Amino acid sequence: MRVVLTGFRGTGKTEAGRLLSRLMGLPFYDTDTCVEEMAGKGIHDIFADDGEESFRELERSAVSALPPGDAVISTGGGVVLDSRNVAALRRKAVVILLHADEKTLEKRITGSGRPRLTDMPLDEEIRHMMEARRPYYLAAADYCVDTASRNINEVCLHIRRILSEGTIPPARRRESVRFMQDSGIEPLDAREFEEWVLGESGDQLTRFYGIAGFPCTHSRSPHLFNTLFSGLHINSYYARFQSEDFDRLMHIARGMDVRGLSVTIPFKHRVMDFLDFADEHAAAIGAANTVVFCGGSAYGFNTDWIGIREPLADLHGEGAVVLG
């Protein structure tokens, strides 16, 4: 098994990675250590002498040079900012995001010798960097583990339990299959979902995504995403979550520990009541079309406005008619 640990500095990636590798009997690689070996000097000196851009180039080379096969890999806090790193790390691997609250991170980072990334006071730097990086962390991860209230032994045991048992109780799996069978989606789609949830197509680590709406049988998203998952060797399945009862739909999604939902009509406004965090665009518009679940929390995003803005970006002073 190949396990990748990501997260902001101070979340315990290196310490957890070392212990987890011993528990699992797997080789351990730390991308920051790989960078230091390539550069012949420490991270702090790389930042001071050559700047962050040089460090990121070395980091990208270190990630691409990681040996294939079973291993535990700890990464630097900014590794997820480069999509090439994410693609390389996710391939045939389980990516686990370690996270902690800002106060805990500040306490751990203070006096650690880690290079500062801005001229801000440490607490402001953490808040600013976390807000900027959160979407990247969430997008790259398969599972999320809170390290603030756990010591390093508890963190590793929790990860081991996820890897061996998954996060979906058997009763919740059976409940989700019944939901799909009664949802009005095509019988073939319901049978395929059952095969992934209870059959041999998936396993305890298969992650589930879906489109949530009523109706959503017309959507081509399941075919598109499942083709991508297969081609990129990502152990995931994208389903149709169709119901007039959005409370019931979200109950099923949370019970299945669904990783993400594409939200369509008529629930883009309704879903805001179910979010723990909303990005600035979803909050301003009052609607979300994407929900990412991580560590028991629901994060909402709105990307619809980008699709509206881009075709109109070069038009100035023109009239417009909105239909719908």
Rounded CA-CA distance 200/194 in Å is: 10
pLDDT in tens, 128-180: 999 999 999 999 999 999 999 999 999 999 999 999 999 999 999 999 999 99
Evaluate whether 2-165 and 170-307 have a shared fold.
Answer: yes
Report the percentage of the chain scoring pLDDT > 70: 99
301 has pLDDT over 90: yes
Which residues partner with 151 through β-bridges? none
Q: What is the mean pLDDT of residues 99-119?
A: 84
Q: What is the CATH number of domain 2-165?
A: 3.40.50.300
Contact (Cβ atoms closer than 8 angstroms) between residue 211 and residue 265: no
Rounded CA-CA distance 276/292 in Å is: 10
Rounded CA-CA distance 257/208 in Å is: 8
233 has pLDDT over 90: no
Rounded CA-CA distance 94/159 in Å is: 11
pLDDT in tens, 282-293: 999 999 999 999
Q: What is the CATH number of domain 170-307?
A: 3.40.50.10860
Reply yes or no: is the peptide bond before residue 215 cis, omega within 30 of 0: yes
Q: Number of C-alpha atoms within 13 angstroms, CB side, residue 293? A: 21
pLDDT number for residue 241:
98
Token pair recorded at residue 299: 């994060």
Q: What is the mean pLDDT of residues 296-317?
A: 88
Strands 236-242 and 277-278: unpaired
Mean pLDDT of the chain: 93
CA distances from 258 to 110, 116, 209, 239, 269 (A): 36, 36, 6, 10, 20
Total residue count of the chain as it appears in this document = 324
Domain boundaries, the chain: 2-165, 170-307
124 has pLDDT over 80: yes
Phi then psi for residue 33, to 5 deg, are -65, -40
pLDDT in tens, 134-147: 999 999 999 999 99
Report the percentage of the chain scoring pLDDT > 90: 85
Whether the CA torsion 224, 63, 135, 102 is positive or negative: it is positive
Contact (Cβ atoms closer than 8 angstroms) between residue 85 and residue 60: yes
pLDDT number for residue 113:
67
CA distances from 268 to 271, 275, 280 (A): 6, 12, 15
Q: What is the mean pLDDT of residues 266-270?
A: 97
pLDDT in tens, 41-94: 998 899 889 988 999 999 999 999 999 999 999 999 999 999 999 999 998 999
What is the pTM for the complete model shown?
Answer: 0.87
CA distances from 285 to 94, 131, 150 (A): 34, 19, 37
